[in-house]
Structure 1
Amino acid sequence: MNFFNNQKKLTVFDRVVLAVNVLAGLALMFSYLAPFINPRYFWLVGMAGLGYPFLLPANAIFVIFWLFRRSRWVLFPVVFLVIGLPWVSQNYGLKNFCPLSSNPPKENLRVMTYNVHGFRALDKVIGTPVPDEMAGIIHSSRPDIVAIIEFNSIKADQGAIYRSLQRSLGLNHYYFKPHENDEWDSTGIALFSRFPIIRSGFVAPSPQAPETEAVFVDLSISGKVTRVYGIHLQSVRFGFAQHKFLKQLRPLNRGGVKEIGIITDKLRTAFSRRSHQVELIKAHMRRCPYPYLVMGDFNDTPMSYSVNRIGEGLTNAFAEKGSGAGITYHRDFMPVQIDYIFTSKQFEVLSYMVVGKKLSDHFPIVSDLRMR
């Protein structure tokens, strides 16, 4: 028995659906190119990569539609989906979920990265400081090493903040490199460690990437040296008006068209700057003589050039042991994964978890590792 109805002609509605299916399929194919093409030269491909979380389920819906219609056109979206199968595991955790151990062996290494939004609560225009609550989240995860992104310290009481975090976290060694300084406070990346720091530094910016924010520490772990990078790639820097527009998504008017133009321009600028930054960071990583891991806020999705450029030759902790969509940024209308943990091949990933606590605009992520 032939499942497909060969005698049935396409209705006008079918033809409209087919046209939309063709466009959605081609857009999905375009998104598959985003990890390979530097958006500095062709920024539209970066936009296609951002659309992947919508384009993938859209094509799956077309499969269901054409199956219901018993039409051979079902092969069209099926082919597009099959071509992109290698990318599914980068965006959705499909392997066996391995929860964090409550009592991990001493030889395991638990690492964590958390963008704390300057220790400000998300539900305020001018956020209420919540460092104790955020430190509590970190403490309950019991990391050996944590990268705190957008760490903010008041200069007048800087030492007290460090001592407080050291007491609450039990991580006695730290390195903080301010990225932004003013008269009152400093903001940047702080790396806290249970292990002694034998060397620390940062990736020097270049004229093409003056805002590069990447720091590292070399740690003495069981007599061996391991390097840990903490990075914060270029933010899109949406203002209040853009966040409000994306959250409400009202019908377009003149103001809405203006906001779309501003959003597009900010995205294009961020794509280009991140591409410069990842080249600097990748060059620094290639010169590293030790096993290393890199974690932080990449400000880009799994279908992006910057994430895949950093991840070349490395192990993605989420792809190895993650579950579901791995969402780490939950603001606006489109929650996405933009925080990552990558390791060199000397490490085995044992577990991965997104800590679903909404204090910052980011969720912290934690992974257990073991040296091979």
Structure 2
Amino acid sequence: MKDFTLRIIAGANIATIVVMLLIGYSDRVNPTNHPLIANLGLLFPVLLIANLAFLAFWLMFRVKWAAIPVAGLVLGFQPIRVYTPFNRNPATPQGSIKVMSYNVFNFSTWTDTSEPSEILQYIKRQNPDILCMQEYGTSGRKHEIVDSTLSAMYPHHSTANAQDGGDEICIYSRFPIADKENIEYTSKGNNSAAFHVVTAKGDTTIVVVNHFETTGLSLDDRSKFHAMIKGDIRNREAERESRRLWHKLGEASAIRAPQADAVARYVEQHEGRSIILVGDFNDSPISYVRHRLASVLNDCYVASGNGPGISYHYNAFYVRIDNIMCSDHWTPYRCHVDNSIKASDHYPIICWLKRG
């Protein structure tokens, strides 16, 4: 009976590995044609944790069968490394530049302008050489304070708006900004732009700032998702809500895919140029969007970060959706998501880059 039970558990372990691998490599599937497959990557950590639990079980009860989950970890090494990389952290070499990407949520948690902005104080402390922000747009007194504070720190800055209004993205730089190009794609209010930054004498780097299509979930949708995670919504209602939310997420993924394709084509058209790409992808590490852009650039977090690097932290959606990537002209060091500041629904992502 014991033998039979262990064989059943082994079968469950193998099934878990198969599903984990299918989900782990689902980022190759274009959501335009298969929108409901697009968000399977959100389930990847669940399967990974389950496989690790099987590993612990076999080590306790049948050591030789631990080869099953170990084989799963080996076969799934690539998506595991993408989702939660582990790297040595060598010292940042002299001459590196510090790059920060931060979705600042329109500074919406800063409600009293008679008090200092937590985000602005944080930026002052971090003092990046190139600062890129998404959801940057503000107005009135807020705009005056933000503009005067950052302009005192940075001699160069530029902004870009979505074609039909909506999101504003920006770059503040210690280096001159020689030119700006909007990267055209269809969007309800999100956008991407390429800023030509003179990072050294006779050397221009194209800094591409992105804010891809949002998830399409309203505040009510997110609060319902949070309630489901907590178990406050049960049975048929939970099943209906899950199906509805999954469809909405799929629809948003189908919009983001052509946006990522447009940016990837822009990068390919500028092959051989020095490029730094940053932004809020609104998609998980196991996604077509990240995979498509990582196929033309190096993912700095995967190359030099550690752990899952969760950058979005509202309403139980805990996932890394903010990214920094670069061309082979740069070597990334100590890329990390800083969860010490909670003044936005995102945490900032920071990386040091050394020109090779």
TM-score (norm 1): 0.85
Is 1:222 the equivalent of 2:200? yes
Give the secondary-structure state (helix, strand or coil) at the position aligned to 1:366.
strand
State the distance in 2 between where 1:324 and 1:80 align. 19
| Counterparts of 1:328 and 1:58, CA distance in 2 | 23
Alignment of 1:327-342 (within 5 A): 327-342=310-325
Q: CA contact under 8 A between 2:185 and 2:258: conserved in structure 1?
A: no
Q: Say if 2:280 and 2:323, in contact at 8 Å, map to a contact too.
A: yes
Which of residues 251, 254, 264 is equivalent to 1:282? 264
Alignment of 1:311-330 (within 5 A): 311-330=294-313
Q: Normalising by structure 2, what TM-score?
A: 0.88
Aligned counterpart, 2:48? 56
Q: For 1:35-74, what per-residue CA distance to the aligned partner results, in whole angstroms no more than 9, with x for missing partners?
A: 2121222234323221111111101111222333317654
Partner of 2:344: 360
Name the Cα RMSD after superposition: 2.6
**Amino acid of the residue matched to residue 337 of structure 1?**
R
Q: Does 1:272 align with 2:251?
A: no
Residue 197 of structure 1, CA deviation: 1.0
CA shift in 2, pair 1:129/1:96, >3 Å: farther
Aligned partner of 2:354 in structure 1 is: 370
Give the alignment partner of residue 143 of structure 1, picking from 102, 123, 128: 128
**Does 2:304 match 1:310?**
no
1:360–1:160 distance in 2 versus 1, CA, 3 Å = closer
1:84 to 73, 76, 84: 76
AA aligned to 1:359 is: A
Counterparts of 1:256 and 1:129, CA distance in 2: 38
Equivalent residues of 2:120, 2:149 under 8 A apart:
no
CA distance in 1, matches of 2:185, 2:256: 12
Counterpart check, 1:112 vs 2:112: no
How many equivalent residue pairs? 348
1:222 Cα shift? 1.8
The AA in structure 1 aligned to 2:262 is L
Question: Are positions 1:194 and 2:178 aligned together?
Answer: no
Decide which of 140, 145, 164 is 2:149's aligned counterpart: 164
Unaligned runs of 5+ in 1: 1-6, 122-126
Give 5+ residue unaligned stretches, structure 2: none
Q: CA deviation at 1:143?
A: 0.6
Q: Which amino acid aligns with 1:9?
A: D
Q: Which residue of 1 aligns with 2:118?
A: 133
Distance in structure 2 (CA, Å) of the matches to 1:20 and 1:240: 37
Task: Please state how far the C-alpha of 1:265 moved relative to its aligned partner.
Answer: 1.2
Task: Go from structure 1 to structure 2 and tell me whether the alpha carbon gap of 1:57 and 1:254 turns closer, same or farther (over 3 Å shift).
Answer: closer
Would you say the 8 A contact 2:132–2:172 is kept in 1? yes
Aligned-partner residue type, residue 105 of structure 2? H
> Partner residue of 2:18?
26
For each residue in 1:201-239, what CA deviation from the matched residue of structure 2 results, as whole angstroms up to 9, or x when unmatched? 210124xx5655101210112211111011011111222
State the partner residue of 1:204.
184
* 2: CA distance, partners of 1:347 / 1:314: 10
More helix as a share of residues:
2
Assess if the C-alpha contact under 8 Å between 1:115 and 1:148 holds in 2. Answer: yes
Say which SS state the counterpart of residue 95 (structure 1) adopts: coil
Report % sequence identity. Answer: 25
Q: Give the CA deviation at 1:332.
A: 2.6
- Alpha-carbon distance in 2 for matches of 1:173, 1:252: 53
**How far, CA to CA, are the matches of 2:100 and 2:118 in structure 1?**
16
Distance 1:134 1:98, change over 3 A: farther
| Equivalent pair of 1:98/1:352 in contact (CA under 8 Å) | no
Alpha-carbon offset, residue 295 of structure 1: 0.3
2:338 is equivalent to residue 349 of structure 1: no
